[in-house]
Structure 1
Amino acid sequence: MSSMTTTEPRRINRRVLVIGAVIGLHVLVVWALQTGLLRRAVEMVIPVQVLAEIIEPAQPIIAPEPPPPAPAVKQPPPKPQPKPVARPEPTPQPVLRQEPSPVAPVVAPPEPAPPAVVAAPPAPPAPPAPPAPPAPPRVELPSSSADYLNNPRPPYPSLSKRMGEQGKVVIRAYIETNGTASRAEIQTSSGYERLDQTALQTVQRWRYVPGKRAGVPEAMWFNIPVSFVLE
């Protein structure tokens, strides 16, 4: 009875050990998967196999054997050439004189037809002539000889008469639109001071018809000749 009781605990211990070993093996496998040890072992195994395939020596390349040379074709021996046979010389034949044939008349080639006359294109119409410039406005110079002005003749200086002084004086006067001479100067002298001054004073006292441009009165310069002649 006591021997049976001792064997049973031994069996139970063995079972416990087996079960513990199995559990520990599973735990070890799970731990290896989690930490990547198993993957590393696989990677180490695969490169070794690939390396073994690479290191394997290459097989030598066997070149194909060259074809046997073609058999030489025998050429027939050259045939002997025949000897040349002497030919008799030909007898000369009489030469027949040929009369010249009449020369055919030379026909002149036809003259080429004159080229067709191409009509020139019509000339473009001439541009219209520019309009003529407008005529300058008509200018009417002042006048001092109108009868209605009643301008007296310049007096002859008595001393000039006694001394025989005579001549022509040209006075340049500026005639205003109201017919008066606002300025006057001697343009051409007679050679005598008394005659020049008498003409200048007389012209300044005269009345004038004012000058006009295009019919409109306008102030302008006017040359007035005054002559002194002894009778």
Structure 2
Amino acid sequence: MYVRAAKSGKSSRIAGMATALGVTAVLGYVVAVSVDTFIPPEDVRTELALITPPPPPPIEIPEPPKVEVVEEIEAPPAPPELVAPDIEVLPELPTIVAAVAEPNPIPEPIPVAPSPAAVTQTRSAPRLIAGDKPDYPSAARRAGEQGTTELRVCVSSAGRVTSVAVARSSGSSKLDDAAAKWIRGEKFQPAKINGVASEVCGHNVAYEWSLRDA
């Protein structure tokens, strides 16, 4: 049995060596064939073409949202807090009743003498006593002059004219002078105050000159 085992191990070593030699030979062949059949790659040129891209679409800018401005209204200030004042309660005072004095007797009114009655004066203006008319001046008649002469006279208590003045002219000095001369020679019923004849100044006398009476 020992001899068979030794033979068997020797055969295994020989078989392994033979296998290794075979593998080595195959690898060498493959390398040789690969070296003979290698073909270098061709020179490949790559042409780059610039492709212009299309223009980008317009960008739409959205409108900004409308901002509503809200006005801030300041709230009115709060009213000040009312503080009730401290009320001091005073003690009730006793009621004082004052003595009422009796009124003095009212004296009797003293009789007053009646005032004298007001004196009423009666006055009457002087009045011209009808007499002759003045002569129409011939020069004024020839010139066709006419009009009204108003005289202001003073009349004495005897009814005589003491002064004469022309208050309003007739427009003709000839007629005015003739009227003044005429009134000086006339007589008046004197003015009376309370029935007594008195002198009066400022009495007006008017005389109308008319060519119909010339």
State TM-score, norm by structure 1.
0.40
Higher helix share: 1
> Which has more radius of gyration?
2
State TM-score, norm by structure 2.
0.43
